[in-house]
Chains A and B, each alone.
Chain A
């Protein structure tokens, strides 16, 4: 059974295009990638800072938009999204 672990990440981590977020399994001694570790179920919760008229523009590589929340105060005008 998988352990449930939590870790800290920087707050207000603002990233522009061509920057990357990477999930990796690191060697505890060298910091190198450890082969054979299968990574799945990756999920990023982000705030889209660019105009969000086309959130699907965030689709990239393995990742695609799975859920889009509603901007505060616009739920009635935009419907369920």
Chain B
């Protein structure tokens, strides 16, 4: 079937009507007209109407804009046409695939819930944003996408339905905080536990890079907490500490402290090395590396420690107690 363009000559200040002539049947594919509101008696909305043989309106296709007196518009109608124009375009419609060159959306006001931009899916079908390999960028200049949430407009991924948040990449995950105040927290508030698991061949490093900074591994639950370091652990920063703050157990195959001021301590009030609370201890296995002294070290003020003493004739493993008494544990001959 051929397409035919039907043009109206001249202009009309009344509705402009095309009546399908006798014995004809047509399929309307598009329409356009110019509306000059210079002499309009009031605001108006350009529309395309379909009338039955008795003049009854079967359908009306108004544009979404209201034109004021004096305004003029060139209006085009076509299936899947946009609801408003400006520079034209095909608009976004429901229940159809919208596809075009590009789409920029800018909002200038918040809705009744305080959001400037709010995308909600209530179908249960889920929500998918596909970057198509071009990357993803979410920006917030302190008041943006999630503004209005408690805590000073944070970014938040909130799965209120009990779901699991999964980050899956082929190139690694990096979480970086450049702020000197708020720090970074990974917090599990439920009873599901937390796991840091490295299934690859590379190392797992938990590092405190700043001088005199501490590394706290704190088991604070009501049960018997455990901090298990099953591989090599190196604290290379002077005065750094590894602390187990409650009911802790440290299991270390090889703990290498590069500075004599480093500590591994158990601070819980009910836990002590060799104390009366069974099951709470520090285990260092299979090797114990003792610092070597060539002069006898002074006694601690409130505890005891084991050390290696070399008087150039023999090598001893000794213990020194808070009262200054010393005991030889082993000696070579």
Contacts and interface: CB of A to CB of B under 8 A. Distances in A.
Interface residues of A, number: 65
Which of B10, B12, B25, B66 has its CB near the most chain A CB atoms (within 10 A)? B25
Interface string A5-22: 111111111111111111
B81 interface: yes
A23 B31 contact: yes
Interface stretch (B88-96, B123-131, B202-210, B279-287): B88-96
Contacts of A13: 27-28, 50
A47 to B, nearest CB: 4
A28 interface: yes
B14 to A, nearest CB: 8
Contacts of B1: 47-49, 52, 71
B9 interface: yes
Contacts of B91: 6, 8
Interface in A45-71: 45-50, 52, 55, 57-71
Contacts of A14: 25-27
A44 B239 CA distance: 85
Given A7-B83, A39-B11, A23 B46 contact: yes
A44 to B, nearest CB: 4
Contact of A15 (B28, B39, B77, B78): B28
A39 B49 CA distance: 14
A76 interface: no
Nearest to B76: A6
A70 B90 CA distance: 27
Contact of A49 (B11, B19, B25, B49): B25
A22 B59 CA distance: 10
B201 interface: no
Contact of B32 (A12, A35, A42): A42
Nearest to B34: A41
Given A9-B79, A10-B79, A21-B28, A52 B20 contact: no
A16 B85 CA distance: 31
A79 interface: no
B26 to A, nearest CB: 4
A37 B44 contact: yes
A21 B49 contact: yes
Contacts of A67: 4-5
Contacts of B60: 26, 31
A1 to B, nearest CB: 8
B47 to A, nearest CB: 5
B190 to A, nearest CB: 50
Given A14-B27, A37-B36, A19 B50 contact: yes
Interface stretch (B67-75, B137-145, B164-172): B67-75
Contact of B2 (A1, A4, A33, A48): A48
Interface of A: 1-28, 31, 33-50, 52, 55, 57-71, 81
17 contacts: A4-B85, A5-B85, A7-B82, A8-B61, A10-B61, A18-B53, A19-B53, A20-B17, A21-B17, A21-B48, A24-B16, A25-B15, A39-B35, A48-B3, A48-B25, A61-B18, A68-B3
Interface of B: 1-53, 55, 58-67, 71-91, 93
Given A7-B82, A40-B34, 15 more contacts: A2-B72, A11-B79, A18-B20, A25-B44, A37-B13, A37-B35, A38-B39, A39-B33, A43-B31, A45-B5, A46-B4, A48-B26, A52-B2, A60-B20, A62-B16
